[in-house]
Chain A
Amino acid sequence: MKLSRRRFLGGAAATMLAAPFYRLLEREAYAATGTGTARRLVVFFSPNGTVHHLRRPTGIGTFFGFPAGSVLEPLEPIREHLVLVDGLDFWEASNHEGGMRAMLTGNGTAGHATGGRSVDQVVAGAIGGSSRFASLEFGVQTSAWGGGVQTRMSYSGEGAFVTPDDDPLHAWQRLFGTLSQDAQSRSLLAMRRRSILDLARADLEDLHARLGAVEQTKLEAHLASLERVESGLVEATACTLPPTPEVTGGLQDHHNFGAVTKAQIDLMVASLACDMTRVASLQLGHTVSPHVIYDAGVSEGHHTLSHAGDADDAGIDGLRRAERWFAEQFRYLVERLAATSDPETGGTLLDGTLVVWAKEMGDSRLHVCNDVPFVLAGSAGGRFETGRYLRYGGESHTHLLVSICQAMGLSTSTFGNPSYGSGALPGLV
């Protein structure tokens, strides 16, 4: 019987004293199904739902187009790489929080096969083991309100957030900081840091002995974090050192939103090019995000704009422009992946990567999670026929999450709450 990590923690408190102090996560079943698979997963998020008539493409299938001025029009140059998916619902979810929680977890809980984890973490659990970083989470201005359901999309277990790194400079240090040193210094540094992790672990063991039955979750989380730090100490594969990100001004300054976004995309692509991770995500803001996308020529907060009524011409236009700006960032990401070579295959990074643009709600004015749009980029090794626009009629989006897992080679059949149905999203392959 497979036992999820959370379940182990919750159900085995009484036996913890006798049990070994910590255990490694069990790996997900890793068995390719279907034909092609991708080797890398990238999740891209932009907030506050949408207004469908501003966004929806015309046509269907391979015959589709982007109306002039519409939100997705900036994707025209990369349409050959895309699968546009409309009409999926987040079942049993509504509003900002419900959508944010369900978006990547499918409302899974500890008792479900996915253990309440988000799709990026499920995939990382399966394929991230051999990477320096099982997954990397990048963010832009996600944390001014603290961590919470509104501000987090990635879950390592039920209710357990994975915090994105909002600071490109810090991310650069983590990823590439030691690459400028000579090999001997790097190795000495890694040895010191490993010793320190060992000391911290030993102190945690001592603390555990004093704790009795309490606070086990906290110690387990701490130990798991040290594991992640340690795996990050692995010597980085030789690769081109990307330039240090240049962001002037505060990370929380709305005027900086665009600059930080670009820096994070560049870092994410560089980390994939250097094979430091196989699973990455970029979270732009968060639901109810107040950010003013100055680069899009608007001066109202994004959440406010997302509530503009159809009669509010200025508000609707502001939202349209802000949403187009997010589409431009997605295009930049895809173009960068398509322009970067994959050292392993000689092809491009995009060839082996599945990129998913997710949103947390459908119509933002109504706070509903029906008809939530997704955009996929990359064919997952030929698995998906790209250059298509698919429309569904209220199916649970958990089928798409299953499709993503299967495209990454997992044998997943249900994602999140299994009562929403099993199997991949029909018509996608």
Chain B
Amino acid sequence: MRSLLLGLLLLGACDDLRPTAADAPTPAGRDDGVADPADAADAPADDGDGGGLVPLDPEAPAVEACADDAPFFAEQAWPQVFGEHCIACHRERGPARDTRLLLDEDDLDATRAVVWGVARLVEHGQPLLRAKPTLTHPDGHLGGEVLLQGSPELALLDEVLDRAAGRCPAPAGDSGGDTGLPGDTGLPGDTGTPGDTGTPGDSGDTGDTGDSGDTGDTGDTGDTGDTGPVGDTAPQPPGLCEDERAWFDDTLMPEVLGRTCAGCHRAGGAASATRLVLPAAGGSTDAVYAAALALARIDTPAGGFLLAKPMDLTVDGHGGGRQVRAGTASHDLLRDFVLSARGELACGTPGDSGDSGDVGDTGSVGDTGSVGDSGTVGDSGVVVDPDPACGDVPELPRRLRRLTPVEYDRTAEDLLGVPSSHGQAFASDVVVDGYRNHADALQVGGLLAEQLASAAEGLAFDPGLDLDTLIPCDRAEIGERDCASAFLVDFGLRAFRRPLTVAEHDRYLAFFDAVRADEGWADSVRWVIAALLQSPGFLYRAELGARVGDDFQLTDHELASELSYLVWSSMPDDELFDLAAQGRLQDPEVRRDQLARMLADPRAEGVMWRFASSWLMLDRLAIVSRSTEVYPDLTAAVRADMAGETERFLEGLFAGGGSLDDLFRSEHTFVTARLATYYGLPSGSGAADGAGFREVSTSGSPYGGLLAQGSLLTTFANPTDSSPVHRGVMVRERLLCDDLPPPPANLDISPPDVDPTATTRERFEQHRADPSCAGCHDLIDPIGYGFEHFDGAGRYRAEEHGLPLDVRGEVVDLDGGDVPFDGLDELAGRLAGSPQVRACYVQQWARYGFGGLDEAQLDCRLSHLDATFAGEGGRLDDVLFALLGDPAFGRRVGAPGELDAPGVVDVAVPRDDQPDRDPGDPGDTGEPPVDTGWAPTGDVYAVVTVVNDWGSGFCTDVQVHNDGDSAVAWQVSFDPGGRIDNIWNAQAAGQGGGTTFTGASWNEMVWPQAVQSFGYCASR
């Protein structure tokens, strides 16, 4: 039985093995044509008479049965393979009953006929019966169990294939001179499954201790029928780098296997029954080296098994524990080993692969220059080398970001000057990684559309709304309709955060006219406001940009919103709008200045809290379930005070130049009188703020620093007790950015019952004694023990049930080592100085700030962002400058094919090489206004944007700005750049540089600080 366990990946029954689309990982590195497991899962396992299906040997007449087929099947193949493993799904009522392999344990003769029939099928050049369970079939195996190369089960399966093909085994004693593995007997369809390249025993079956050592035996070249795993160039285990063994011991073991995998893949560990079992510290690595080589050479649709498995790319995924993610140093090291084992690595750069991140990145684009800090020496003294492959690539696609409920309310308030709480009641959006602002998740669903309609009407007809502050004109003076038009230009710019297009302006003006026919002026304007608030122009922040080369550069108005929503979670202010109108936000220095200005603005208040309530999941504090019997003092008011405490603490540090060190180690906090009593702290001196909070020193108390705050401690606990698990997971996932998989199904994961004779730690340690739990919980619980002086409601306790508390713990694998600590203060100190915590802080901000950077891309960018952050000085607020300096801030990539698609509009985007855009400078006369032209007429000037250009002609959108103090009937002159074929909303007179444009009747006036529009098409 033991060999069975070793030879098979036993991952439960059919349940759960099948990847679903929602669960399917989509990391980078999957773009190489690898079959998506989700796709495979959708396809029927066998598509009947699908193409490419041919009998194994069409020439052969009816195959003679071998004399002992029946006993062989009944005594070996059935009990060890089909009846042991396949039957779980391939049975009458099983999930795989619609495949051709339908097994019936009550009729083995009939079943044997079925098996023999399937064994004669060939698909895609491989025997189907072998290709499916070994995952070498392009469609994969939908779920269930998998046979590993070299396993006894596969040998039996191969014998079935032989027998079905009429190749009966020779009488005992004659093994044909081969190694005795049936699979190596020259089966025509066996085109070199990688597991066959080594000697029969080197499949990594570490239980066969006799095999250890023979992996270095490269002399087994007798299997010339096998073409090897890749190509046909190498006659030996090809391409294995010369010093591979030493590199394995010196680099791969300590850097990856011993660190990432050893938690489970060790004797007695959760993965002790797999083929990868790591030795105890100091033990011989012979066996694991052999196993790793063999596993690396197993083919999966996603490449070598040793890499595909921990990346969760095999069909049955990685059962639990830690994973290897693309873009990490661990990934690159493991990838190199796998490639080397498969003969696919260019050897000769042995030393390089020790440097994280730079493996294989030769030939990438250079540094952007936007951040000159490549190679910055970080706080830890480690040279951080930004991954140049990530340096200058705008990772994000062009997209729309719907306002979040928070952004909706704050924007409505800034736009209209009335308070808004409509967003709080909006249908909840999908939460991704704890964040509620992931661009993909923010859509307008059915319920939300109705709520948006109600909110828009509610805001527009809010009695507190003062229309006079929004209307830039006197309708008695210029007429209602013109004033409505002027209102649309002015208010539309602020509502859509960009100038309205002519079409939009006209549409909403027509709506005004229609309403005005029935209702008064004020209500008509209010209806227009209600309509604008339901437009996609208001609801979505566009990140579409204008094309620059092969990328898209965000427009000035889009950049203004990027800044304002990052810092204020609201719309741009007048200064940002002005800078956008002047085209100045393309300048990184201007953006930096603006960011500094915006951080000092009162609207920046709350920026850290808005981020951190998602980062630390404190948005759950108010609703986590807590027993009122065990914790009667934890009232809703106390919970609210706890949130207020952390908000003030974080905001104070962020605005006051605090660092991560301060975050963890500050000796002050903020309490109300109620919370002070609750904690047992003094209530502080000095004036309380509006909500009754005072700053108080925590020196000499058990409190102090983020980790000892009631908000965090209460959010991460159980209803009736503390939880080392929840708190350990919080540190792992939120502070260290480790991915922990959910516990496996079919496992009772209930916390241990409360026991008044034991401490929480003792109960959980008992729980953790189960080896199936220990693999992951060794990463988690020992961190959580450090918090045990705080109960499930965030209050200090000197002891528990009268029992002394042991708060010693360990952070396994922090910054490359295991870090023991004694108590929360020491843990906080360790985290405060950790480069991993610093990088995670940046990563979490990037998730929030970019609204959903693809995680694999984020990995790639992280070292760059982290280096920038460290280079900026490492203050908490420096992270915003790091994000600002990232190429993802201002640039977007087009979707494939998008660059050629019609309908992509170039909006005015000043280029770097554009001449001075001083409106007083006549500038570019004579040149066609291919991008942006300025045609000053006193305070009135035009911005010309080419919206479509087909070579022999083009169309434009022209915005006429009035920077002066009085309304004027506008007139602008410039060279239209060709012969005007078509013009709207204006008239043109004259020719060439003397062409003069004047407005149509409805837009001939341009009001102070406002814009009018017209457009034309011209031939060259």
Contact = CB atoms under 8 A, between A and B. Distances in A.
B448 interface: yes
Nearest to B518: A188
A332 interface: no
Contacts of B623: 144, 252, 290
Given A94-B15, A212-B901, A367 B746 contact: yes
Interface string B846-870: 0000000000000000000000000
Contact of B625 (A147, A222, A304): A304
Interface in B438-472: 441, 443-451, 453-454, 456
Contacts of A291: 625
B17 to A, nearest CB: 8
Contacts of B97: 419
Contact of A212 (B20, B445, B894): B894
A247 B995 CA distance: 67
A217 to B, nearest CB: 8
Interface stretch (B479-487, B503-511, B761-769, B880-888): B503-511
Contacts of A91: 95
Interface string A84-105: 0000000111110010010000
Contacts of A31: none
The 7 A-B pairs with the shortest beta carbon distances in the complex, nearest first, are: A301-B625, A146-B431, A143-B428, A225-B449, A290-B625, A307-B750, A163-B427
Interface residues on B, range: 35 or more
Contacts of B540: 207
B628 A232 contact: no
A167 interface: yes
Contacts of A214: 397-399, 894-895, 898
Contacts of B15: 92-94
B812 to A, nearest CB: 26
B745 A95 contact: yes
A203 B537 contact: yes
Interface string B518-537: 10000000010011001111
Nearest to B905: A210
A200 B534 contact: yes
Given A94-B16, A199-B511, A299 B628 contact: yes
Given A222-B444, A312-B753, A368 B745 contact: yes
B972 interface: no
B516 interface: no
Interface of B: 14-16, 18, 20-22, 38, 42, 44, 93, 95, 97-98, 143, 397-400, 402, 425, 427-431, 436, 441, 443-451, 453-454, 456, 501, 503-504, 507-508, 511, 514-515, 518, 527, 530-531, 534-537, 540, 542, 544, 620, 622-625, 627-629, 718-720, 742, 745-751, 753, 894-898, 901-905
B446 A210 contact: no
Nearest to B753: A312
Most buried by A among B456, B625, B746, B897: B625
Given A109-B42, A146-B428, A419-B98, A174 B903 contact: no
Contact of B430 (A148, A167, A222): A148
Interface in A314-345: none
B544 A211 contact: yes
A309 B750 contact: yes
A150 to B, nearest CB: 10
13 contacts: A92-B15, A92-B18, A95-B16, A158-B21, A192-B515, A197-B534, A207-B540, A214-B399, A218-B400, A225-B444, A229-B450, A300-B719, A419-B44
A207 B543 CA distance: 12
A215 interface: yes
Contacts of B537: 203, 207
A167 B425 contact: yes
- Secondary structure of the A side of the interface? mixed
Contacts of B22: 101, 149, 159
A376 to B, nearest CB: 24
A277 interface: no
Given A93-B15, A151-B428, A290-B624, A226 B449 contact: yes
Q: Which of A200, A207, A312 has the most CB of B within 10 A?
A: A200
Contacts of A202: 503, 507
Contacts of A209: 903, 905
Contact of A207 (B95, B536, B620): B536
Interface string A164-195: 11010010011000000000000010001101
A366 interface: yes
B285 to A, nearest CB: 37
Contacts of A368: 745-746
A315 B6 CA distance: 41
A145 B456 CA distance: 25
Contacts of B449: 222, 225-226, 228-229
Nearest to A291: B625
A161 B430 contact: yes
A371 interface: no
Given A212-B895, A300-B627, A196 B448 contact: no
Contact of B531 (A165, A195, A226): A195
Contacts of A174: 450
Contacts of A246: none
Given A195-B514, A199-B531, A309 B536 contact: no
Contacts of B745: 94-95, 98, 367-368
B446 A163 contact: yes
Interface string A290-313: 111000000111011001010010
A167 B451 CA distance: 11
A93 B746 CA distance: 11
Contacts of B753: 309, 312
A141 to B, nearest CB: 9
A210 B447 contact: no
A17 B450 contact: no
Nearest to B444: A222
Contacts of A146: 428-431, 436
B446 A162 contact: yes
Contacts of A365: 748, 750
A197 B534 CA distance: 8
B897 A218 contact: no
Given A143-B427, A312-B753, A163 B397 contact: no
A38 to B, nearest CB: 24
B535 A92 contact: no
Contact of B535 (A162, A203, A303, A394): A203
A164 B450 CA distance: 12
Contacts of B748: 365-367
Nearest to A419: B98
A146 B434 CA distance: 9
A192 B518 CA distance: 11
Contact of B719 (A145, A199, A301, A366): A301
A68 to B, nearest CB: 27
Given A92-B18, A95-B742, A143-B427, 13 more contacts: A17-B902, A147-B429, A159-B21, A159-B22, A164-B447, A200-B536, A206-B504, A211-B398, A212-B895, A218-B402, A218-B444, A221-B445, A229-B453
Contacts of A162: 445-447
A196 B425 contact: no
Nearest to B537: A203
Contact of B16 (A98, A200, A226): A98
B959 to A, nearest CB: 16
A17 B747 CA distance: 50
Contacts of A232: 450
A403 to B, nearest CB: 18
A224 B446 contact: yes
A351 interface: no
Contacts of A259: none
A240 B431 CA distance: 39
A138 to B, nearest CB: 11
A67 interface: no
Given A147-B441, A226-B449, A307-B750, A203 B397 contact: no
A406 interface: no
